[in-house]
Structure 1
Amino acid sequence: MKTTNPGTILTIPRSSGSIDYYSGPSSATINPSFNSFLPTDLSHIKPDDKNASRTLHVRNLDRRITADLLKEKFGKYHDVIDVEIKNPESPSPYAFIQFPDVMSVIDTIHQYYKNENDRNKYRYKLNWGKTKTSSKLWLGKLPENITKEYIRTKIRSGLILDDITDIILDSQKCEAIVMFKHKDPAMKILEQIKSKQM
């Protein structure tokens, strides 16, 4: 999802209960020593890079790859919101994997190159992907006792009743994904949150 700040993630602060957005640092950290063993230059994989986004571009995929396999592989580093495989029937398929925020992408890239075993080492080529508008919104740092009903009520104002198709709430991680029927209502809610209208 394109925003003015590629690090922006949506949150509902625990203290106020009102929806807001957060663009500060993530809990993910980057170890500078990673670069000592990387097979490629990753100096541009940083939050203030002009191409930074919450989308990971994965190249060098096998034609047998599936979205579920990619979600399983990269989901062990950070939560994966969506996976889209391009040109699946071609000799060179590639994929875009959406994460909650920019720092998740940065940490995933570094962790991938750090942890791959020798047989599959550096099999995939990872880089920034272009952020696209989506019909899903990720909400983080939610109050521990929040419910789906509260989230639905809070963001439904100004929307058609059935614009929201589902809400996936992870109470343990205090996160949720709100799925809309179309991209437009998702973008509308995003703008309302960013402009503090909600």
Structure 2
Amino acid sequence: WHHLSQASHQPVDRILETWTGVPGYPVLVARRTASTVEITQHPFRYLGTPPPQLWPVPLTYRIGSTEGRTLLDGARTTLEAPAGTPVLLNAGRHGFYRVEYDAAGYEALARAWPDLDPVDRWGLLDDLYALLQAGRIDFAHYRPWVERAWDTSDHILVVQLEGQLTALARLVDYAGPVAALHQEFLARQRRRLGLDPRAGEPDNHAAEREPI
């Protein structure tokens, strides 16, 4: 770790000591202002109130089409970002943390959705599902993001949404709006995949078709 710190000019030894010695991981909360994004970190928990804890977080981000990285070494940091420009934290999903945006942040990312890489779409849905489970957002907030992705042919998103929606539908005994969303996703994917294999179809279609 010491030599990695010297080569990278970053406190790698302290970063790794914290991440390997402290249980849990953070959620980064991003709040837009007129020309910046204020980022704060908090311990993430599905249940209960966690004790205060800070991690040195190697942060990757994308502001519009510009990528960058920084070390969040404390409770908060600020990034410059013009109003309305989409800001994606944990770009590429290299970091071990959740991200929660405010309404303006989610609105900008919704507009940018068609241009996001599959791994970043997967990351947004993964965080939203975790935030839903933790009670930080409600189903009405989660649902539109599923609807943006329910016609997807990206393998990682198909598998992800099938797993998320099946788990949620089981919780409500396959009834109500959760079950309706689940059924609509399955119907759309069945139309895309078909019930039987087709000549020349991608190999991953068989893996997608089985649970669908």
TM-score, scaled to structure 1:
0.23
Larger Rg belongs to: 2
Structure number with higher relative contact order (C-alpha < 8 Å, ≥ 6 residues apart): 1
- TM-score (ref. length: structure 2): 0.22
Whose helix fraction is larger, Structure 1's or Structure 2's?
2
